[in-house]
Amino acid sequence: MMPPSRNRSWGTRALHWLVVAFVLASCVKAWLGPVQVVERASAQIPDSGLQRRQQLEATRETNRLLQQVLTTLHQETLTVRVVEGEAQPAQPVRGRGGGRR
Protein backbone atom coordinates (compact mmCIF):
# COMPACT_ATOMS: atom_id res chain seq x y z
CA MET A 1 0.00 0.00 0.00
CA MET A 2 1.05 3.46 -0.75
CA PRO A 3 1.12 6.07 1.99
CA PRO A 4 -1.47 8.85 1.55
CA SER A 5 -0.21 11.64 -0.59
CA ARG A 6 -0.01 15.07 0.97
CA ASN A 7 -0.15 16.59 -2.44
CA ARG A 8 -3.95 16.60 -3.04
CA SER A 9 -5.55 18.45 -5.86
CA TRP A 10 -7.87 21.44 -5.34
CA GLY A 11 -10.94 19.43 -6.42
CA THR A 12 -10.24 16.65 -3.93
CA ARG A 13 -9.91 19.12 -1.04
CA ALA A 14 -13.12 20.91 -2.04
CA LEU A 15 -14.99 17.60 -2.24
CA HIS A 16 -13.63 16.59 1.17
CA TRP A 17 -14.82 19.83 2.81
CA LEU A 18 -18.15 19.61 1.03
CA VAL A 19 -18.74 16.12 2.46
CA VAL A 20 -17.69 17.27 5.95
CA ALA A 21 -20.06 20.26 5.75
CA PHE A 22 -22.93 18.04 4.58
CA VAL A 23 -22.37 15.59 7.45
CA LEU A 24 -22.25 18.43 10.00
CA ALA A 25 -25.41 20.03 8.58
CA SER A 26 -27.18 16.66 8.73
CA CYS A 27 -26.16 16.22 12.36
CA VAL A 28 -27.42 19.70 13.26
CA LYS A 29 -30.75 19.06 11.50
CA ALA A 30 -31.15 15.71 13.26
CA TRP A 31 -30.36 17.36 16.60
CA LEU A 32 -32.85 20.22 16.12
CA GLY A 33 -35.66 18.11 14.66
CA PRO A 34 -38.07 18.96 11.86
CA VAL A 35 -38.75 22.60 11.06
CA GLN A 36 -42.44 23.54 11.23
CA VAL A 37 -43.55 26.33 8.94
CA VAL A 38 -47.10 26.49 10.32
CA GLU A 39 -48.18 25.27 13.72
CA ARG A 40 -50.08 22.05 13.24
CA ALA A 41 -52.90 22.73 15.67
CA SER A 42 -53.78 26.18 14.34
CA ALA A 43 -53.51 25.00 10.74
CA GLN A 44 -55.94 22.10 11.16
CA ILE A 45 -58.42 23.02 13.91
CA PRO A 46 -60.83 25.93 13.41
CA ASP A 47 -61.71 28.34 16.22
CA SER A 48 -63.64 26.11 18.62
CA GLY A 49 -64.66 29.04 20.82
CA LEU A 50 -66.31 30.78 17.86
CA GLN A 51 -68.10 27.57 16.86
CA ARG A 52 -69.40 27.12 20.42
CA ARG A 53 -70.65 30.73 20.54
CA GLN A 54 -72.46 30.31 17.20
CA GLN A 55 -74.03 27.06 18.43
CA LEU A 56 -75.27 28.75 21.62
CA GLU A 57 -76.73 31.67 19.66
CA ALA A 58 -78.57 29.28 17.33
CA THR A 59 -79.91 27.33 20.33
CA ARG A 60 -81.12 30.53 22.01
CA GLU A 61 -82.89 31.61 18.80
CA THR A 62 -84.56 28.20 18.48
CA ASN A 63 -85.70 28.35 22.11
CA ARG A 64 -87.08 31.86 21.58
CA LEU A 65 -89.11 30.71 18.57
CA LEU A 66 -90.40 27.64 20.40
CA GLN A 67 -91.43 29.83 23.34
CA GLN A 68 -93.43 32.04 20.93
CA VAL A 69 -95.19 28.96 19.51
CA LEU A 70 -95.98 27.68 23.02
CA THR A 71 -97.34 31.08 24.08
CA THR A 72 -99.53 31.23 20.97
CA LEU A 73 -100.89 27.75 21.61
CA HIS A 74 -101.71 28.55 25.26
CA GLN A 75 -103.19 32.04 24.84
CA GLU A 76 -104.95 32.17 21.50
CA THR A 77 -107.96 30.33 20.13
CA LEU A 78 -107.12 28.40 17.03
CA THR A 79 -109.68 27.64 14.35
CA VAL A 80 -109.23 24.27 12.71
CA ARG A 81 -110.91 23.44 9.44
CA VAL A 82 -111.10 19.81 8.37
CA VAL A 83 -110.73 19.29 4.63
CA GLU A 84 -111.54 15.98 3.04
CA GLY A 85 -108.44 14.44 1.58
CA GLU A 86 -108.08 12.02 -1.26
CA ALA A 87 -109.45 8.48 -1.23
CA GLN A 88 -107.58 7.60 1.99
CA PRO A 89 -109.45 8.29 5.24
CA ALA A 90 -107.64 10.54 7.70
CA GLN A 91 -105.91 8.79 10.56
CA PRO A 92 -106.61 10.17 14.05
CA VAL A 93 -103.73 12.02 15.62
CA ARG A 94 -102.79 10.72 19.05
CA GLY A 95 -101.12 13.09 21.44
CA ARG A 96 -99.31 12.41 24.68
CA GLY A 97 -102.12 13.77 26.82
CA GLY A 98 -101.77 15.59 30.09
CA GLY A 99 -101.26 18.99 28.45
CA ARG A 100 -103.66 21.89 27.90
CA ARG A 101 -105.50 21.95 24.61
pLDDT at position 69, please?
Answer: 93
Task: Evaluate whether 100 touches 74 at the Cβ level (below 8 Å).
Answer: yes
The end-to-end CA distance of the chain, in Å, is 111
pLDDT at position 39, please?
Answer: 61
pLDDT at position 101, please?
Answer: 45
Domain that holds residue 69: 48-76
In a domain, 60, yes or no: yes
pLDDT at position 33, please?
Answer: 80
> Mean pLDDT of successive 10-residue segments in the chain (101 residues)?
65 91 91 71 72 96 96 88 73 55 45
In a domain, 54, yes or no: yes
In a domain, 63, yes or no: yes
In a domain, 64, yes or no: yes
The CA-based angle 4-7-9, given to 5 degrees, is: 110
Query: Looking at the 3D structure of the chain, how many domains does it have?
Result: 1
pLDDT at position 10, please?
Answer: 83
Q: Write the CB contacts of 8 (distance below 8 Å, at least 6 apart in sequence).
A: 16
In a domain, 2, yes or no: no
In a domain, 19, yes or no: no
Residue 26 and residue 18: Cα distance in Å, rounded? 12
**pTM reported for the whole predicted model:** 0.36
In a domain, 53, yes or no: yes
pLDDT at position 7, please?
Answer: 67
Residue 29 and residue 23: Cα distance in Å, rounded? 10
Q: What is the DSSP-derived secondary structure letter of residue 20? A: H
